[in-house]
Structure 1
């Protein structure tokens, strides 16, 4: 049953970091914007909690850095690559960019709640939780809004000049709008779990390779380590089929800090799989509709830069959308300016992630055997430093309209 109707300038579907940032920026300049979130709240687990220096650079430009860094967080200042317990190389963020010598670890619910609180300061901002989109409304080849199902099962029609899909890698707007992928690369899965952080660990991000699998370990606010096991595509199902014992033994012998966790395992419930998938949508915009973030350009967990890239696209989109509204032109040509600005950098990073994925998600015994030597050699070349900077640091500042910059 169709309930009441709403009229807005912009609908943002998805209340993740990209969607919330876009909603905040548009509300700041007086756009009537509504953010639709299918979940009941912001609770997320193992979802994009590392904010690389490039993200902090963007916050600096928006003058939001102080506001965000007041939130509960940890700082990651350096990283290292290991073959079992032997260090093969290391890096620190201070050597990449002096002004931002760290990455931030902020639990995503805390970050989203902070953006929400800031957005609610503006009277033109609105948000609905438990509001999954069921249908796109189209008229004469232009998307003019959505139909959502509310918690009481009543349908709500929301009309808008522009509808933005910021609803993640499994985007409903991408599916309903018939957007096609340019490419997709899926080498494997990261299987996440958390353990208590030992006092001596410090603020180091660790990548570890073994004769079995690769591991990534990050300090997680407030007192945990988040660990990801890199499994080649299809291996997670086979691992589960074999039972917990084999997987438990591997984890137990990979790092002494994981021993107690592994010893307590009786099933696979403590693990959360995440597809290490890249994809790029062929065309991000249609008349009245735009995709941003993972809906348009999903990045794999390699390098932990997905949130940073998505939010940068949201900032660019805010400027393009505001300009489109001023000109009363919401055509695919105008909205497609977002893709023109953002796609080159993202495609370059996807290629880096693809090459790294071949190394870390391999099932080849030969490649597993030579990985330690590849890493040792890579750290001795300028190429490795260049790749790090491409991943973690924003080369050129984003062109931001002064209207979107907050007062300190």
Structure 2
């Protein structure tokens, strides 16, 4: 017989959204259990950016000092490819300090920080090596999940509310009968790393490189570059078959300054493919079940905003649902409020990503970069103060969330904060 446990709120997925939600609800006194299928957070994540609005949230939670001790680098500029080179479109350093940068932090360190902050809370439980395998129901109402541990043991956890934070391939979304609306995306992304040397002229922010119909994006990660190579959707297998020597030569041709280090790509196994998706659900809940983050709206890597949007979803969910959970009376109408609160920023962000796909990435891969609208580039070059506008959209985003009062703690690392 399967072991049956109970909790008030069950969060499936120990990524940024799940860990932030678990921490905030625990600080509200809600009994919350987070399930994470892996044994630790020490994995190679593709998205390691912590945006300015999330840094502000960490300060509000009293975690700013510990966050700033983590190994990290800063992204302060956003550039776009133009005929003949690149142009700075956004300058995050123009925003009001101390929230005038985007941090690139190993995601395992970020998640460990959240877990360490949550573990002292008496109502918080983190279950590692525990994978949700299916939904439990009482009629139409979701009442929890079945799970399996790494050693093969199976059990059930029943909950008043189950929150799916299990990513864009969400099992709970599938089993809940939710079907997202998909938007066409013209590209996939290969991610890989190259060493970074302390030399004059090396990119210090986020910068594209383009040659013909080949496009790279360089992200400064301190002692290495995280590099994105954009390829037409569905061509992974054919291009991968050309082999590592071809790929090294391709990278060196697009970005000659990297030619002295492409041999660090030892094989195509070092190149990881991201099947880029852009989709969203019209409805984020059913009775007893809520979906947030990528489970509700998969984001393109354009702008690197996926983690930020997921964290903002979690803050909104905690703010709106803490009191109903404390009363042990969470109704579908309460769950619907989360979607209503987060719909506008999600739609705006995805809309901007679709514009970037159509106006920039698609033309670049077709060798037609001249189609990119020149007005924004010309304006930001002539009037540099305008670079704060795209910087704000990326680093802060529409409708940023603040920590609810019940979750706030004092912090000593908010120098310069007004």
1:323 and 2:323 equivalent?
Answer: yes
Checking the alignment, whether the CA contact within 8 Å between 1:96 and 1:393 is kept in structure 2 is no
Note the 1:197-212 alignment, pairs <5 A.
197-200=196-199, 201=202, 203-212=204-213
Deviation of the 1:129 alpha carbon: 1.5
Note the 1:7-86 alignment, pairs <5 A.
7-83=6-82, 86=85
CA distance in 2 between partners of 1:216 and 1:16 (Å): 24
Checking the alignment, whether the CA contact within 8 Å between 2:206 and 2:219 is kept in structure 1 is yes
1:349 and 2:349 equivalent?
Answer: yes
Structure 1 121/266 Cα, relative in aligned 2: closer, same or farther at 3 Å? Answer: closer
**Residue 406 (structure 1) aligned to one of 406, 409, 416:** 409
Structure 1 266/120 Cα, relative in aligned 2: closer, same or farther at 3 Å? Answer: closer
Equivalent residue number for residue 238 of structure 1: 238
**Aligned-CA RMSD value:** 2.4
SS in structure 2 opposite 1:40? coil
Which deviates more, 81-90 or 152-161? 81-90
Structure 1 327/184 Cα, relative in aligned 2: closer, same or farther at 3 Å? Answer: farther
Checking the alignment, whether the CA contact within 8 Å between 1:5 and 1:157 is kept in structure 2 is yes
SS in structure 1 opposite 2:30? coil
Deviation of the 1:209 alpha carbon: 2.5
Note the 1:96-245 alignment, pairs <5 A.
96-200=95-199, 201=202, 203-221=204-222, 223-245=223-245
Structure 1 372/264 Cα, relative in aligned 2: closer, same or farther at 3 Å? Answer: farther
CA distance in 2 between partners of 1:148 and 1:77 (Å): 42
Checking the alignment, whether the CA contact within 8 Å between 2:90 and 2:387 is kept in structure 1 is no
Structure 1 13/47 Cα, relative in aligned 2: closer, same or farther at 3 Å? Answer: same
Which deviates more, 248-257 or 355-364? 355-364
Equivalent residue number for residue 389 of structure 1: 392
Deviation of the 1:389 alpha carbon: 2.3
CA distance in 2 between partners of 1:266 and 1:47 (Å): 19
CA distance in 1 between partners of 2:78 and 2:365 (Å): 26
CA distance in 1 between partners of 2:379 and 2:12 (Å): 42
Which string of whole-angstrom CA distances, capped at 9 and with x for unpartnered residues, describes residues 330-378 of structure 1?
2222111111000111111101111112221447645235459677446
Which string of whole-angstrom CA distances, capped at 9 and with x for unpartnered residues, describes residues 227-273 of structure 1?
10111211222212333343332111122342134345563111011
Checking the alignment, whether the CA contact within 8 Å between 1:57 and 1:394 is kept in structure 2 is no
TM-score by length of 1: 0.91
SS in structure 2 opposite 1:297? coil
Gaps of at least 5 residues in structure 1 are none
Deviation of the 1:219 alpha carbon: 1.2
Checking the alignment, whether the CA contact within 8 Å between 1:231 and 1:361 is kept in structure 2 is no
SS in structure 2 opposite 1:145? strand
Structure 1 403/166 Cα, relative in aligned 2: closer, same or farther at 3 Å? Answer: same
Which string of whole-angstrom CA distances, capped at 9 and with x for unpartnered residues, describes residues 288-312 of structure 1?
1101111111211110111111001
Which deviates more, 57-66 or 226-235? 57-66
SS in structure 1 opposite 2:276? strand
TM-score by length of 2: 0.89
Equivalent residue number for residue 253 of structure 1: 253
Checking the alignment, whether the CA contact within 8 Å between 1:52 and 1:308 is kept in structure 2 is yes
SS in structure 1 opposite 2:80? strand
Equivalent residue number for residue 269 of structure 1: 269
CA distance in 1 between partners of 2:303 and 2:279 (Å): 16
Gaps of at least 5 residues in structure 2 are 412-418
SS in structure 1 opposite 2:229? strand
